[in-house]
Structure 1
């Protein structure tokens, strides 16, 4: 039986430890001001220190990722307050939620380029080598006023490296479950040209997902990523940026029939020009192409190629010393042509027997937005903005025939107020509206699986939310920073799989409908403390009370929103002295449901019980160019289920060499 920690007792003890004065206190001169002076761009589309942003912001730097157990972007995000990451087997990808809003309600970007899959709406970041990342900016709260659809819960912007220095880095690692990794990166400068090249390969045999039935298989995979970027500095202020990436992933998550492949390619062209000392023009064109995207489930071969093209132009204009205006226009097109075939031999994708389903279409979103930042006094700043989006669904079809065109208009306003009470304390408040458009899958795909027939609904409307937030950042001492955020999201027109009828004794018919409402209330607490010049720590806690408040199925009213843990906290310590770096992190998640009716499968398999796990990493740098690291995940070998059995204790050793 898995023991459940008493949350309040454990949190009190850990917080006391963080604030303990038994460690040697660092002087203000020795202590970095944590992240309050870190410059971010995602929250306002302008460069601004975190302390001047009226929102809950977390920044994860490349240095942060090196210190902790991070080999994927999911690893990097899992300890962020308000954010829930759940890895799934095979091609199901990664489930993510921010403040109770999941999947297509969270916008993922790479250097401003959308990464959400145009077919399902979920985020896809597998094509980004970790070594190419400079930092990740996580902005929690509604941001449709700047970013449109999918930014209901927040925005995650993965920013790749710039300011190259000539350097080549090679790493090689091996670990539990037949896990191996190799990476290569090379950066350089030739006159006005910077260039970056990255390659990584990661493969694992995986582990048994269901000990009660080992024949169901292992969670194995083989992934490769390639990326390149060039930056040409036209002059001291203007530059051209071109980047290209490719990811190839093969999944072997069942001995019997289930397997898949995902190949996606990215292209981005950007241009930045300083038109005047107070005017900056930004242009971007990007393409995300899932060129080879298929799965085999049972005897069905499903292929879902998706292509997204997007362009944006914006202007940042400092009208006067106290007023900065941001205006922009953007256009985004998603196209998909999905097919399902019956296979005579489930192990052979060439044994196609007949076409079972075909569906797809095109969505187009044209947008215009503005944001006005007004500094009333040195202590008080207000941001007011809004975005108008025109969304269209055209060329829709499935085997039942073609679908009528559909168009929706959305206006998403937002207002935020920042007040600096004194040198140590900053308050902010915000209110805004946001939305998330239905996906092509929701609109057109007829999905027939073993026990469910899921019907599309071309009449779906966008989900909408009214959101409110109040927060404060307080510098308790030169060594300690505390943050508190209180938030509420009222969501309407939630898209649900609504019951239609029973087709047979064990097979039901469902259809996507705007059938639900939800109320999401929560609080986030963060504490960072510097014990000494060598030792630092953090703790954060999130309480998220997410309830279904209305649904066409009245039995769901009052139930917990799926894929949202009610309580979560994370704690971490880092010790860095001369050549040695040691990191220890723990995370707790309360019970989480995957079903709307909050039921769990029998026999414990697939249950989502609470758990607390600890990870650690030790790194030793022999020379400035040579280092070795040891990572231990799930240090105490805790057994728990999150859809399937999670991996037990794993060990990974990696050697890094720079030239």
Structure 2
């Protein structure tokens, strides 16, 4: 047993005990209003699905390098990354592939029609107000992509009082950051404008492993620029219009080949999102929202000439109608248009498709019993129609203990790249069929316990994902190197525990996942996914100080599908402290990977060493 594996296993055993004994913050979150679980506003206490909320306070205190780090640090997902905070990043929710998690930013779909899935390295973090993480399939509500779950990122909003938020930070590795925002309202209008810049000299992102093709002993830095703008108008009682725009720019160095050590390789990524929405409260029972969203993901490598651009457009009408007390009907209709610009496409470098969808849901809550049913029909212009449905139920055994369960299916549409390049099916060949959508079939059951300030949840799940698209043998396409095919099936099963409690003045939160994401045909673990992972976070207030600590731990994984290339387990400790210098000014210190553990989440690539960050944040009311 390796030292790294032993180091990871000890905290994981501690996580088990803490998660089973845990409860919630002194600040109870059950009255928080969330929208991701049903696509309509709902109290967190009424949610039947497995949902986690990460607040602005969590974001500021942890000062995570990226949204992906934030989700990993809070036990929401596993992460694999090819180097620093701006490098190519994958997230595995309940062991599902990264492309099987739907990502929304203020309701705008984020996706890549080349690789599939959102580009996590381009997600903003400084401007985030909160994040809602829904685990489990949700295609019956959102359509394609939500096989493993949904991550919805909400950027900051304006308040009644005009205020500012300014922050500067300096750290080791040549890191410096600055961000600012102006928030408020005037008359019928409210607004929020934010911006952020981050630059770092970074660290050597590659490791000199045997067989490594890209090791170059240099530092791989990055810079990021991010900005958001939100303008809302309460046009009339019950009538609100809102416009949101977001842009991020990332330029990151990487090592393309050790045979060319003097070449300065870069990935340049620009992510844009815009959304216009009109929300109407027609009667106390009837609410609708009409929205148009558009996202654009541009990814380029330099000097190596590779460029791919994905655009997603989404027109949606959603709403709800309260039939009676404790009974509600949700409805939706939407059109999603995907466009890919990539030189590898056989259709003059541009591919397009669209999906039309209609859906409905029924929410019932009477006494101890709760029921939710969702159904949706998606008609895709390329691969045909898909019907999805989810049924959830809950029963309160006691006022504080509820048993919940659900069954449902989900799908991920093949990407335009998978279908439209020389690696996609050649339909002119006898017996060759178009790629089918990947399908997930999930069943889960759980317990949710609350008692005053205490919470605990336990969820057991099994999700079988069939028609998985992999790059297999040649023969069905025009390429002699290999073809995309529906040939695999994955079995994702496990148990998730989450809880938190207050011991004296200390708030404790813990998660533990015992999972087995495998290839159903071989029984081998899926690449870069562990059987055990978890987190523990604690914070307390001592006078003008707020002190916090967190541990993230993972068992061993394998970098390849054959399970022959082992990645050791790890346990990382992060520390943070805030000191209130005045009413509007505070000093913050963050120490991540405090013991400077050398870890890797992808073979040949290093993870961040010990990092230190000192910040000043000024939040005056104007």
TM-score, normalization by structure 2: 0.90
Local SS of the residue matching 1:188: strand
Match of residue 368 from structure 2: 379
Match of residue 519 from structure 1: 491
Match of residue 287 from structure 1: 294
- Matching of residue 316 in structure 1 with residue 311 in structure 2: no
CA distance in 1, matches of 2:397, 2:308: 53
1:170-249 equivalence runs, <5 A: 170-212=166-208, 215=216, 217-249=218-250
Q: Aligned pair in 2 of structure 1 residues 120, 10: CA closer, same or farther (>3 Å)?
A: closer
CA distance in 2, matches of 1:128, 1:515: 32
CA contact (8 A) 1:272 1:281 kept: yes
Local SS of the residue matching 2:608: coil
Local SS of the residue matching 2:481: strand
Match of residue 573, structure 2, among 596, 611, 614: 614
Match of residue 577 from structure 1: 542
Local SS of the residue matching 1:119: coil
CA contact (8 A) 2:19 2:497 kept: no
CA distance in 2, matches of 1:382, 1:232: 35
CA contact (8 A) 1:107 1:151 kept: yes
CA contact (8 A) 2:7 2:570 kept: no
Local SS of the residue matching 1:432: strand
Match of residue 556, structure 2, among 564, 571, 591: 591
1:541-556 equivalence runs, <5 A: 541-550=512-521
CA contact (8 A) 1:119 1:334 kept: no
CA distance in 1, matches of 2:401, 2:75: 20
CA distance in 1, matches of 2:220, 2:346: 28
CA contact (8 A) 1:19 1:529 kept: no
Match of residue 103 from structure 2: 108
Match of residue 650 from structure 1: 611
Q: Aligned pair in 2 of structure 1 residues 97, 14: CA closer, same or farther (>3 Å)?
A: closer
Match of residue 112 from structure 2: 117
Match of residue 352, structure 2, among 359, 362, 374: 362
Match of residue 502 from structure 2: 530
After TM superposition, the structure 1 stretch with the greater mean CA deviation from structure 2, 539-548 or 358-367, is 358-367
Q: Aligned pair in 2 of structure 1 residues 329, 49: CA closer, same or farther (>3 Å)?
A: same
Query: CA offset at residue 444 of structure 1?
Result: 2.1
Match of residue 153, structure 1, among 137, 140, 148: 148
CA distance in 2, matches of 1:263, 1:18: 40
Q: Aligned pair in 2 of structure 1 residues 63, 637: CA closer, same or farther (>3 Å)?
A: same
CA distance in 2, matches of 1:513, 1:156: 28
Match of residue 474, structure 2, among 483, 488, 500: 500
CA contact (8 A) 2:293 2:315 kept: yes
Q: Aligned pair in 2 of structure 1 residues 480, 147: CA closer, same or farther (>3 Å)?
A: same
Match of residue 304, structure 1, among 303, 308, 311: 308
1:420-459 equivalence runs, <5 A: 420-446=396-422, 459=434
CA contact (8 A) 1:586 1:615 kept: yes
Match of residue 380 from structure 2: 391
Q: Aligned pair in 2 of structure 1 residues 282, 537: CA closer, same or farther (>3 Å)?
A: same
Local SS of the residue matching 1:438: coil
Match of residue 540, structure 1, among 506, 511, 531: 511
| 1:331-363 C-alpha deviation (Å, 9 max, x unpaired) | 1111112127xxxxxxxxxxxxxx999644112
Match of residue 443, structure 2, among 463, 468, 478: 468
Match of residue 329, structure 1, among 317, 327, 333: 333
CA contact (8 A) 1:444 1:457 kept: no
CA contact (8 A) 2:52 2:76 kept: no
CA-atom RMSD, angstroms? 2.6
Q: How many residues align?
A: 595
Match of residue 267 from structure 1: 274
CA contact (8 A) 1:138 1:155 kept: yes
Q: Aligned pair in 2 of structure 1 residues 514, 12: CA closer, same or farther (>3 Å)?
A: closer
Local SS of the residue matching 2:117: coil
Query: CA offset at residue 133 of structure 1?
Result: 2.0
